[in-house]
Amino acid sequence: MIPLDWIAVDWGTSHLRVWAMQGDTVQQTAQSDQGMGVLARDAFEGALLALVEDWLPAGRITPVLACGMVGSRQGWVEARYRAVPCTALADGLTRAPTRDLRLSVHVVPGICQAQPADVIRGEETQVAGFLALNHGWDGVLCLPGTHSKWVHVSAGEVVSFQTFLTGEMFALLSSQSVLRHSMAGWDAAGFADGVQQGFDRPDRMMARFFALRAEGLLHGLDPGTARARLSGLLIGAELAAAKPYWLGQRVALLGAQALSDLYAQALSGLSVPVTQLDATEMTLAGLSAARALLPESEDRGCVN
């Protein structure tokens, strides 16, 4: 058996990742494609056990801390949104029903904002992890991804945030629109051009897309340049729209390396000071902070 205090779970729409934790140390990890999107409510426990059953010590309850879409209305159990301004985490995690007596599953709630309407589910845990590791930090977090998030943090609280569909738009336009015929690979110079065009004239963005196709047909535009320029256009336009977030602020980027690098490059071009951190590390730090909120009786691991 591996030494195990608790289990960390990041459960999104399309993936499930689990970590066997001793204190803040990862002992083992596993993942599957059993995301929230493919699971009926009564299938979550089985999907989790399929990955962690071998880890579970007999004769005691192992706490499981989970974040992400697992807590949505279509998830294992609905963990209701908390409204800004609020801390990234708070007491009152939502308990998911389990049949296996060795599991005690606690789901982190998302955060909502009434105006402009917006929701976060999953990224709040990364924010909490970042703040646990950077006490007293004031500024802006950017979490690039399928849906990128900009989060303004002050005095330990999430003040406001905004979601952009940038990553999903890139995937749809580059893989499913007519532009797909003109795109493959990646050329870094194309990205820089796109960022500049998207940022300087976001109002012209709608007019730029088809030109990527037409330049391929007429002028033999390199498919890697076209794909990178599309990415740059979208990220540049996102940065233009997110300007109220980053202007005059320091920005911490929490994301997967490759995408985070693109945002860092784009922001550096705007003279915004940027720090990059790994999203998975922040998630684990956040789930660890969530575990610290459990009543001692829930975390000691006695059979109830």
Which residues of the chain form contacts with a copy of itself (CB under 8 A)?
81, 112-114, 116-119, 147, 162-166, 168-169, 172-173, 176-179, 202-207, 209-211, 213-215, 217-219, 221, 234, 237-238, 240-242
Q: Which is nearer to a copy of itself, 204 or 300 (CB)?
A: 204
Smallest gap from residue 83 Cβ to a copy of itself (A):
9
Give me 86's structure tokens: 């609020």
Smallest gap from residue 201 Cβ to a copy of itself (A):
8
Smallest gap from residue 180 Cβ to a copy of itself (A):
11
Q: Which is nearer to a copy of itself, 215 or 281 (CB)?
A: 215
Smallest gap from residue 252 Cβ to a copy of itself (A):
20
What ranges make up the beta strands (E) of the chain?
6-11, 16-22, 25-32, 62-67, 82-83, 94-96, 103-107, 111-113, 118-120, 139-143, 148-154, 157-164, 251-255, 274-278
Q: Which is nearer to a copy of itself, 55 or 164 (CB)?
A: 164
Q: Which is nearer to a copy of itself, 51 or 151 (CB)?
A: 151
Please answer whether residues 186 and 167 qualify as being in contact, where contact means their C-beta atoms are separated by less than 8 angstroms. no
Give me 137's structure tokens: 């930090």
Burial (CB < 10 A; 0-12, 13-18, 19+), residue 211, is middle
Whole-number Å distance between alpha carbons of 140 and 154: 9
The greatest distance separating any two alpha carbons of the chain, rounded to the nearest whole angstrom, comes to 71
Smallest gap from residue 178 Cβ to a copy of itself (A):
7
Please answer whether residues 124 and 110 qualify as being in contact, where contact means their C-beta atoms are separated by less than 8 angstroms. yes
Q: How many helices (H) and strands (E) does the chain have?
A: 10, 14
Q: Which is nearer to a copy of itself, 133 or 241 (CB)?
A: 241
